[in-house]
Structures are given as C-alpha cells and as structure tokens.
C-alpha cells in the first residue's frame, strides 16, 4: 500500500481541562474523500486547525507527503500544497472576485515581493485565476466586489482560491455551510470530481453530501475518534448511532 498523503499520529490538544483532541490518528489517501463528522464541539475544527498549522498540538505528529510538518506554520504547509477552505468564508471582501483568486495564484507562485508591475496585468496569474473561476462557475462574477456576491458564491470562491494553489490535499471545513439545496447539490457534484485531482479531508454537517461523497468517514466525539470506516460501516456502527446520528432511521 502506498503511504498516505496526510496523516495524524496520536494528536492531542487540550484547552485547560477540555480535551479537544484525544490521541487522534487518521489518514488521508490519494484519490479519496475522507469525511470527518461529529456533533458540535466534538473537536472537528480544532483538528482541522492543527492540520492546517494554526494550532500546535500538545503531543503527536502530523505528516504531509511523508514529511513531518508538526512544527511548520500555516504558510509553510500551504506552500507544500495544503489547500484549505474555511468554515466562515475568509476572503478579502474589498477585492473583486478575480483579485481573490489572483491572490491565491500569486501565493502559489510565490513572487510576492514585486513592487512595480501591476499584478492584474500578469497574464499567467490571470489565466490560472480565470481557470479556477471557470471550474467553480464564477467567471461571470469575476469583476464584482466580493462583499457584493451571495453567500453561496463566496463558498464557491473559497474553493476556487484553494484550486489556484494546485494543492496536493484539500482541507475543507464545512464547504456546504449555509448553501441551499441546489447549491449543495452542485458543490457535491464538483467535489466528487475533485478527488481525482487531490484527496479531500472534508468536515461537513450536511449528511446527504457526506454519504454521497465520502469514501471513508471518521466520527469524532468529545475529542476522541470513535470510528473510521466506509459509509456502510459507519451507518451500522452502534456507538456512532448513539453519539451522533441518533437512533432514528438513517437516510
């Protein structure tokens, strides 16, 4: 078996008496969507933030592309190819839609300390940016201010920015949050095709999307990983049903 793209080993993180991550070990393999579910406060976001590099774990390690990245910061991990989307859209609101994706393309290329030539006249950056917008279906909104587009479009833009990084793995924190049924279905279809490009670690509350997309599901409860397995395995798992899904019939 090839080694996983992303791996956490015995990751522990506490805030005072609260254990947010309790020896979490999980892997993300090439070509898969690995969904991370769990009730509110189960520690999903804390885990994502540790993987992204925003939080330093108390113990344990994180491996990305076979390299120990536990001590690396957000910037270094992004440069290695970790493409992240945020739970609450983190976009430059005064920028146009195009500027946001160009910023991503600029970050990926890494020539930030240029002081003279206008960045939007850079053909290569523009091409990368427009290609990403086209893939998520936002080309027509390119010239609009980000503050003026709809919530759903901002979610799409988040994904587009991540695409410009040409990441080796995606880290998506509730990309469907606040999307209507139509938007959710569209994004589900899009993510479905995205896994061939790079694997996705997906935190999501929308269970329809999770069951439709995930190759594997991990369930977090009180900072502990209580189960990892295929959709069928998780649906049938008694502890999961009790902790999270409730005992009523599952979809």
Partner 1 sequence: MQRETVLNAVIALALLAVPLWAWGADQPYVITLATKVAILALAGVGLNLVLGLGGLVSLGHAAFFGIGGYAMGILASHAQSYTPILTAPFVIEGSKSMPVIWLVAMMAGALAAFVIGLLSLRTTGAYFIMVTLAFGQMFYYFAISWPAYGGEDGLSIYVRNGFAGLNTLDPIQFFAISYGLLGLGLLLSSRLAHAPFGMALSGARQNSARVQSVGIDVFRVRLVAFTLSGAITGLAGALYGDLNRFVSPTMLSWQTSGEIMVFVILGGVGRLFGPVVGAALFILLEQVLGGLSEYWHIYLGALLLLVVLFARGGLIGILAGREVAHD
Footprint of partner 1 (CB under 8 A): 52, 54, 74-75, 78-79, 84, 86, 90-96, 98-100, 102-104, 106-108, 110-120, 122, 143, 145, 161, 164-165
What span, in angstroms and rounded, lies between the C-alpha atoms of 60 and 64? 14
CB of 88 or CB of 236, closer to partner 1: 88
- Please say whether the beta carbons of 18 and 58 come within 8 A: no
CB of 59 or CB of 145, closer to partner 1: 145
From the CB of 55, what's the least distance to partner 1, in Å?
13
CB of 38 or CB of 104, closer to partner 1: 104
CB of 118 or CB of 182, closer to partner 1: 118
**Phi, psi angle pair for 179, to nearest 5°:** -85, 145
From the CB of 150, what's the least distance to partner 1, in Å?
17
From the CB of 240, what's the least distance to partner 1, in Å?
31
CB of 155 or CB of 237, closer to partner 1: 155
What span, in angstroms and rounded, lies between the C-alpha atoms of 200 and 191? 8
- Please say whether the beta carbons of 170 and 3 come within 8 A: no
From the CB of 219, what's the least distance to partner 1, in Å?
26
| Torsion on CA atoms 219, 33, 207, 204, rounded to nearest 10 | 70
Closest CA to 103 of 130, 136, 78, 125: 125
Crossing angle between the packed helical segments 181-194 and 151-164, to the nearest 10 degrees: 10
What span, in angstroms and rounded, lies between the C-alpha atoms of 14 and 58? 7
From the CB of 87, what's the least distance to partner 1, in Å?
11
CB of 86 or CB of 244, closer to partner 1: 86
**Number of CB atoms found within 10 A of residue 189's CB:** 12
From the CB of 5, what's the least distance to partner 1, in Å?
17
CB of 126 or CB of 235, closer to partner 1: 126
What is the biggest distance separating any 2 CA atoms in the chain, rounded to whole angstroms? 62
User: How is the beta sheet containing 67-68 ordered, strand by strand?
Assistant: 18-28, 6-15, 59-64, 67-68
From the CB of 149, what's the least distance to partner 1, in Å?
12
């Amino acid at each position: 078996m090839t080694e996983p793209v992303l791996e956490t080993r015995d990751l522990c993180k506490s805030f005072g008496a609260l254990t947010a991550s309790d020896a979490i070990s999980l892997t993300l393999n090439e070509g898969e969507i690995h969904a991370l579910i769990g009730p509110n406060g189960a520690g999903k976001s804390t885990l994502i933030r540790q993987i992204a590099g925003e939080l330093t774990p108390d113990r344990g390690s994180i491996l990305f592309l076979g390299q120990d990245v536990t001590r690396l910061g957000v910037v270094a991990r992004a440069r290695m190819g970790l493409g992240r989307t945020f739970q609450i859209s983190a976009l430059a609101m005064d920028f146009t839609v195009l500027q946001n994706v160009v910023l991503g393309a600029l970050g990926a290329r890494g020539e930030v300390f240029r002081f003279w030539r206008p960045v939007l006249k850079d053909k290569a950056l523009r091409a990368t940016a427009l290609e990403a917008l086209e893939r998520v279906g936002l080309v027509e909104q390119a010239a609009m201010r980000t503050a003026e587009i709809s919530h759903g479009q901002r979610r799409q833009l988040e994904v587009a920015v991540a695409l410009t990084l040409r990441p080796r793995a995606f880290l998506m924190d509730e990309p469907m949050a606040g999307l209507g049924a139509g938007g959710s279905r569209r994004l589900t279809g899009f993510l479905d095709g995205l896994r061939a490009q790079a694997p996705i670690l997906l935190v999501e509350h929308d269970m329809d999307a999770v069951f439709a997309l995930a190759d594997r599901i991990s369930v977090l409860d009180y900072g502990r990983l209580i189960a990892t397995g295929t959709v069928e395995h998780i649906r049938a798992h008694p502890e999961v049903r009790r902790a999270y899904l409730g005992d009523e019939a599952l979809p």
